[in-house]
Amino acid sequence: MRKLSIALACLSHTIVDGSQNILPVVFPLLVDRLHLSYGQVGLAAALLNVSSSVIQPGFGWISDRCPTRWFMPVGIAWTGLFMSVVGLVPSYPMLLLVLVLAGLGTAAFHPIASIAVTHASGDRRGFGMSFFSAGGNLGFAIGPVVAAWLMTWLGLQGTVLVIIPGLLMAAAIYVWRGEFASPAPVFGTHEPQARGPIPWGRLSRLCAIITLRSWGYSGLVVFIPLLLHEQGVSLSLAGRALFVFLFFGALGGMLGGYLSDRIGRQQVIVASLVSFPLFMAVAMLLSGPFRWLFLAIAGISLLASFSVTVVFAQELLPQHLGVASGLTFGLSFGAGGVGVGLSGLLADLFGLQMSVWLLVLLPGIAGLIALTLSPPRDRRA
| CATH code for position 111 | 1.20.1250.20
Q: In the predicted model, is pLDDT for residue 378 greater than 60?
A: no
Q: How many domains does the chain have?
A: 1
Q: In the predicted model, is pLDDT for residue 193 greater than 60?
A: no
Q: Is residue 378 part of a domain?
A: no
As a whole number of angstroms, the distance between CA 358 and CA 220 comes to 10
Which of the residue ranges 34-43, 114-123, 176-185 would you say has the lowest mean pLDDT? 176-185
Average pLDDT over residues 110-114: 82
- The whole-number pLDDT of residue 199 equals 75
Q: Is residue 281 part of a domain?
A: yes
- The whole-number pLDDT of residue 181 equals 61
Q: In the predicted model, is pLDDT for residue 306 greater than 50?
A: yes
As a whole number of angstroms, the distance between CA 52 and CA 334 comes to 7
Q: What is the pTM of this model?
A: 0.72
In this prediction, residue 182 has a pLDDT band, given cuts at 50, 70 and 90, of low
Q: Which of 110, 98, 100, 81 is nearest to 17 (CA)?
A: 110
Q: Is residue 375 part of a domain?
A: no
Q: Dihedral, CA atoms, 316, 322, 328, 331, nearest 10 degrees?
A: -140
- The whole-number pLDDT of residue 187 equals 41
Residues with Cβ < 8 Å from 190, sequence gap 6 or more?
A: none
- The whole-number pLDDT of residue 96 equals 96
Give residue 332's region: left, alpha or beta (phi > 0; psi -120 to 50): alpha
Q: Is residue 31 part of a domain?
A: yes
- The whole-number pLDDT of residue 61 equals 67
As a whole number of angstroms, the distance between CA 210 and CA 134 comes to 17
Q: Residue 116 half-sphere exposure, CB side, CA atoms within 13 Å?
A: 31
Q: In the predicted model, is pLDDT for residue 369 greater than 50?
A: yes
First to last CA, the chain: 31
Q: Is residue 380 part of a domain?
A: no
As a whole number of angstroms, the distance between CA 116 and CA 179 comes to 9
Q: Is residue 381 part of a domain?
A: no
Tens digits of residue pLDDT in 215-263: 998 889 888 888 887 878 777 788 788 889 988 988 998 899 889 888 8
Average pLDDT over residues 50-60: 75
- The whole-number pLDDT of residue 132 equals 86
Q: Is residue 196 part of a domain?
A: yes
Q: Identify the domain containing residue 204 by its residue range.
A: 3-370
- The whole-number pLDDT of residue 46 equals 79
Amino acid at residue number 90: P
Q: Is residue 236 part of a domain?
A: yes
Percent of the chain with pLDDT over 70: 86
